[in-house]
Amino acid sequence: MMRTVVVLAAVIGLGALKLPIERNLAVLHRQEHFRGVEFNLDLREKLGQLGFLAALSGFRAIVADALFIQAYSAWENTEWGRMLLLFRHVTTLQPRVLLFWDTAAWHMAWNASVAAMNDRNQPRLALRVKAQREYFALGKDFLERGIKNNPDRPDLYEALARLYKEKYKDHERASEYYAKAAAVPGAAPWDRRFSAYELSECEGREREAYKRLRSLYDEGEKERLPTLIKRLKFLEDKLEIPQEQRTPQEKKVVK
């Protein structure tokens, strides 16, 4: 009876010590935007026994790098399905490495989608287009999940903006994600401009785009780049801005 009481007291004591540690770890993971590694049967089967044990032992980075190399090999052999699974495991193991998310999205939305569209084994255009759109969606999914794990970094917002611009031809969403990138500390100085450029392509939002472009222009010479001035001139004509309110004409240098 005494032994049972001692064991029970020890278990309760360990539990009491464990709770604040787990609570602190949970807080740290939230602060680091770490969504955790899902050590499930699917991952176990893919990594094999040694790889799975290595991941459990804290060698996630080494396992992820090895899988990343395998994913590169799958890309060289155009094994798109295998590459997709490998990148899913790589990003699960190392969710804070931007390179993995960005590379996975690039291969899906650019390389695999182009291969699907040019697939000579599929004579029906509608099915090739369908496959292409599915690869776009896979690339977008990688970037969206990457952003959830790294909301404090601008790079994946930029990558998602490029995907919307170049693959979906959705200038409004591209503008939105360039703006989100610009709002993150350490963002590139061109993110604000790119957001305004994309907005200027959206039917019905030209006046808003013009105000943003003009605001950038008024900040000074560093923002008065040829593309910005060109878009301003285009919008001034389209919106019929009074001549006296337009941006000054660039002075031509007489040689």
Tens digit of each residue's pLDDT (9 = 90 or more) over 203-242:
999 999 999 999 999 999 999 999 999 999 999 999 999 9
- CA-wise closest residue to 163 among 186, 203, 135, 182: 135
Q: Are 81 and 72 a contacting pair, CB within 8 Å?
A: no
pTM value is 0.78
Find the largest Cα–Cα distance for the chain: 104
Distance CA 163, CA 181 (A): 14
Distance CA 147, CA 166 (A): 19
Return the half-sphere exposure (C-beta side, CA atoms, 13 A cut-off) of residue 225: 11
SS3 category, 126: helix
Tens digit of each residue's pLDDT (9 = 90 or more) over 159-181:
999 999 999 999 999 999 999 99
Q: Are 157 and 184 a contacting pair, CB within 8 Å?
A: yes
Mean pLDDT value across residues 77-82: 95
Mean pLDDT value across residues 47-65: 63
Mean pLDDT value across residues 76-97: 94
Residues above pLDDT 90, as percent of the chain: 68
Mean pLDDT value across residues 172-196: 97
**Predicted pLDDT at 62:** 84
- CA-wise closest residue to 148 among 187, 96, 184: 96
Which amino acid, one-letter code, is at 190?
A: W
Mean pLDDT value across residues 102-112: 98
DSSP-H helix ranges across the chain: 2-31, 41-56, 60-76, 80-93, 98-106, 113-117, 125-149, 155-166, 171-182, 190-199, 206-217, 226-239
Give the rounded distance of the alpha carbon of 225 from its chain centre.
Answer: 27
Mean pLDDT score across all residues of the chain? 83
